[in-house]
């Protein structure tokens, strides 16, 4: 429990251009709400930064008073890393400017921007960089963990498209990091999480994408899941880089192109995406449709920004969420059988098992080229357990853990750091893989006291 007086806190308030929220202030409880409704932490103070000077002031205040520190970008992290109990939260949510240089194909993005903020500005010029699949996700947390989504097979990870960043270190230095400036730190922030400082601005490479792309859903009966996934696996081996298909097993939402009898029933959903026009990828779409007898499909030309928001209704903030995740180099028959078996016992209608497809450009860098090490991960599976009633906590979490254990023999042992929950700190080494020793050395150089520890923590090397 901190023992700072009101007078001391008021000293911090007057030093800020932004807003200081203490527990008794109006807006405090709204400001401490994050995407995952299971996270209920009570910071001593939330600093809603108006600019870089506020970030440096808040960071120095927490450090000099020995208080825990957390950094909030989008507040979307499953483990609740945006918050800490009885400490200081550096809240970047008001710092969400996105500037596009269309001639150079560069995006300059502040640390509080969301995917929607980024896409809205970049798509005005028909440009994009690989981001995630939920538009309310923060760009900062996504990038620092590596970041992948619909464009990753074509254009690499989010972190692969990071050109530079402005960062405030634990001792208050304001550094510009890139391949030519502080290259060790630049290497570390591309997959090392929020362990090395507060990123106030990112610079990304942009690529021609949209405004229209080819995207949509193909939904198969659950009874055909094994046959469809087996053929899907065969297609992946020869899939062009400019096309991706993920696999989602869940109870079918009430989509208008599905028969009413399918609503709420287990189904296999294949989200399809390409930045090419429909006629360029129609042969691949037709081949997938022939995997079985689809219950319905809706695939064609649509705005890229619309596809980036298509899954938002299934991922609204405030519900209770618990994830377990595995990486796979292949989907063996046993792995497919395990996935289908547990998809038949989803504990609530909101749960799903999704298998994200990587490979192609995302897998071409060497494991040590960036801090993100899992270049061998062709599939990333997330067991997305989601429910509303706290009384269901034990049952839903037990189901996810049981499935995770059953799938483990077929996985690599590695894990995407952004999918780790708050009770999985022992898996941090699995997230950073063979890059952990180098990350620990860089941590010792830039944060020897481990000020940035409200995350999947990298401890400074001894």
pLDDT tens for the chain, 462 residues long, are 567 888 889 999 999 999 999 999 999 999 999 999 999 999 999 999 999 999 999 999 999 999 999 999 999 999 999 999 999 999 999 999 999 999 999 999 999 999 999 999 999 999 999 999 999 999 999 999 999 999 999 999 999 999 999 999 999 999 999 999 999 999 999 999 999 999 999 999 999 999 999 999 999 999 999 999 999 999 999 999 999 999 999 999 999 999 999 999 999 999 999 999 999 999 999 999 999 999 999 999 999 999 999 999 989 999 999 999 999 999 999 999 999 999 999 999 999 999 999 999 999 999 999 999 999 999 999 999 999 999 999 999 999 999 999 999 999 999 999 999 988 888 988 999 999 999 999 999 999 999 999 999 999 999
Strands 320-328 and 379-387: antiparallel
- In the chain, what are the domains? 7-91 (3.30.43.10), 98-209+435-446 (3.30.465.10), 212-424 (3.40.462.20)
Q: In angstroms, rounded to a whole number, what is the distance separating the alpha carbons of residues 121 and 452?
A: 31
DSSP 197-213: -EEEEEEEE-EE--SEE
Overall residue count recorded for the chain in this entry:
462
Distances (CA, A) of 277 to 29, 122, 213, 215, 301: 46, 19, 6, 9, 7
DSSP 396-453: HHHHHHHHHHHHGGGS-S---GGG--TT-GGGHHHHHGGGHHHHHHHHHHH-TT----
Q: Which structure tokens are listed for 420?
A: 């780790």
Q: How many helices (H) and strands (E) does the chain have?
A: 14, 19
Residue pointed to by tokens 């999704």: 354
Q: In angstroms, rounded to a whole number, what is the distance separating the alpha carbons of residues 118 and 125?
A: 12
Q: What is the pLDDT of residue 49?
A: 98
* 8 Å CB contact between 400 and 358: no
Closest by CA to 73, choosing from 170, 185, 198, 191, is 198
Sign of CA dihedral 386, 355, 399, 221: positive
Q: What is the pLDDT of residue 251?
A: 96
Q: In angstroms, rounded to a whole number, what is the distance separating the alpha carbons of residues 417 and 274?
A: 26
Closest by CA to 88, choosing from 60, 64, 65, 67, is 67
CB atoms within 10 A of CB 372: 29
Q: Beta-strand (E) ranges in 49-197?
A: 69-72, 88-91, 98-101, 106-110, 127-128, 162-168, 174-178
Q: In angstroms, rounded to a whole number, what is the distance separating the alpha carbons of residues 373 and 431?
A: 8
Q: In angstroms, rounded to a whole number, what is the distance separating the alpha carbons of residues 110 and 201?
A: 4
Q: In angstroms, rounded to a whole number, what is the distance separating the alpha carbons of residues 175 and 169?
A: 8
* 8 Å CB contact between 155 and 129: yes
* 8 Å CB contact between 221 and 401: no
Burial 306-343 (b: 16+ CB within 10 A, else e): ebbbbbeeebeeebbbbbbbbbbbebeeebbebbbebb
Q: What is the pLDDT of residue 1?
A: 59
């Amino acid at each position: 429990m901190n023992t700072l007086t009101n007078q001391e806190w008021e000293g911090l308030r007057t030093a800020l251009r932004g807003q200081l929220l203490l527990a008794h202030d109006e807006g405090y409880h709204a400001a401490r709400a994050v995407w995952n409704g299971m996270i209920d932490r009570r910071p001593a103070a939330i600093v809603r930064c108006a600019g870089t000077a506020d970030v440096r002031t808040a960071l120095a205040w927490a450090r000099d008073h020995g208080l825990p520190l957390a950094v909030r970008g989008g507040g979307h992290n499953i483990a609740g890393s945006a918050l800490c109990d009885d400490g200081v939260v550096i809240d970047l949510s008001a710092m969400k400017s996105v500037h596009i240089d269309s001639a150079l194909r560069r995006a300059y993005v502040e640390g509080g921007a969301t995917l929607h903020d980024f896409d809205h500005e970049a798509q005005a010029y028909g440009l994009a960089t690989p981001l995630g699949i939920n538009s309310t996700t923060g760009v900062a947390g996504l990038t620092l963990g590596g970041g992948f989504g619909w464009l990753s097979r074509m254009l690499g990870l989010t972190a692969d498209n990071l050109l530079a960043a402005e960062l405030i270190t634990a001792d208050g230095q304001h550094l510009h990091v890139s391949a030519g400036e502080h290259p060790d730190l630049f290497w570390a922030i591309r997959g090392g999480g929020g362990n090395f400082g507060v990123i106030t601005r990112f610079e990304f490479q942009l690529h021609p994408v949209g405004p229209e792309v080819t995207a949509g859903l193909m939904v198969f009966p659950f009874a055909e899941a094994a046959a469809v996934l087996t053929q899907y696996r065969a297609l992946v081996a020869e899939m062009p880089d400019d096309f991706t298909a993920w696999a989602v097993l869940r109870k079918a939402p009430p989509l208008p192109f599905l028969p009413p009898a399918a609503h709420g029933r287990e189904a296999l959903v294949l989200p399809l995406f390409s930045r090419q026009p429909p006629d360029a990828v129609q042969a691949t779409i037709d081949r997938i449709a022939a995997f079985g007898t689809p219950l319905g499909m809706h695939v064609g030309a649509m705005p890229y920004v619309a596809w980036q928001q298509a899954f938002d209704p299934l991922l609204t903030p405030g519900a209770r969420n618990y994830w377990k995740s595995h990486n796979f180099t292949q989907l063996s028959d046993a792995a497919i059988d395990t996935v289908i078996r547990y998809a038949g016992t989803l504990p609530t209608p909101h749960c799903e098992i999704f298998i994200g497809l990587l490979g192609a450009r995302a897998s071409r860098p060497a494991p040590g080229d960036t801090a993100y090490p899992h270049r061998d991960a062709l599939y990333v599976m997330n067991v997305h357990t989601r429910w509303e009633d706290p009384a269901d906590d034990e049952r839903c979490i037990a189901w996810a853990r049981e499935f995770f254990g059953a799938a483990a023999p077929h996985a690599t042992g590695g894990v995407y750091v952004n999918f780790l929950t708050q009770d999985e700190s022992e898996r941090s080494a699995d997230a950073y893989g063979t890059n952990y020793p180098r990350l620990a050395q860089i941590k010792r150089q830039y944060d020897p006291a481990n000020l940035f520890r409200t995350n999947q923590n990298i401890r400074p090397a001894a």
